Amino acid sequence: MKRVNVIQAKAFFKVVALLALLLLNANGLAFALTENASGVPQNTPTTATAEPVAVPAAVAHAPEEEKAGEVIMHHILDNNVFSFEPFGSVNLPKIIVGGFDISITKHVVMLWVVSAILLIIFSIVGSKYKKMTSRQAPKGIVNAMEALVEFIRTDVAKANIGPGYEKYLTYLLTVFFFVLLCNLLGLVPYGATATGNINVTLTLATFTFFITQVAALKAHGLKGYLAHLTGGTHPALWIIMIPIEFIGLFTKPVALTIRLFANMTAGHIVILSLIFISFILKSYIVAVVMSVPFSIFIYLLELFVAFLQAFIFTMLSSLFIGLASAHEGNEAHEAGVAHH
- Identity of the residue, 115 or 251, whose beta carbon is nearer to another protein in the bound complex: 115
Task: State yes or no: residue 101 binds another protein (CB under 8 A).
Answer: yes
Which one of residues 55, 73, 141, 188 is an interface residue with another protein (CB under 8 A)?
Answer: 73
Eight-class DSSP state of 89: E
CB count in 10 Å sphere of residue 29: 16
Task: State yes or no: residue 260 binds another protein (CB under 8 A).
Answer: no
The three-point CA angle 168-119-103 to 5° equals 95
- In angstroms, give the least distance from the CB of 124 to another protein: 9
What are the start-end ranges of the H helices in 39-57?
none
Task: State yes or no: residue 130 binds another protein (CB under 8 A).
Answer: yes
Eight-class DSSP state of 328: S
Which one of residues 13, 60, 89, 126 is an interface residue with another protein (CB under 8 A)?
Answer: 126
Which one of residues 7, 14, 25, 324 is an interface residue with another protein (CB under 8 A)?
Answer: 25
For helices 2-38 and 238-281, give the axis angle rounded to 10 degrees: 60
CA distances in angstroms from 180 to 73, 143, 260, listed in the order given = 22, 18, 11
Task: State yes or no: residue 82 binds another protein (CB under 8 A).
Answer: no
- Identity of the residue, 97 or 338, whose beta carbon is nearer to another protein in the bound complex: 97
Instruction: Name every residue whose Cβ is closer than 8 Å to that of residue 80 and which is 6 or more positions away in sequence.
Output: 91, 92, 94, 103, 104, 105, 106
Q: Which residues in this chain contact another protein in the complex, by CB under 8 A? A: 22-23, 25-27, 29-30, 69, 73, 76-78, 95, 100-105, 107-108, 111-112, 115, 118-119, 122-123, 125-127, 129-130, 132, 134-135, 145-146, 149-150, 153, 166, 169-171, 173-175, 177-178, 194, 197-200, 202-204, 207, 265
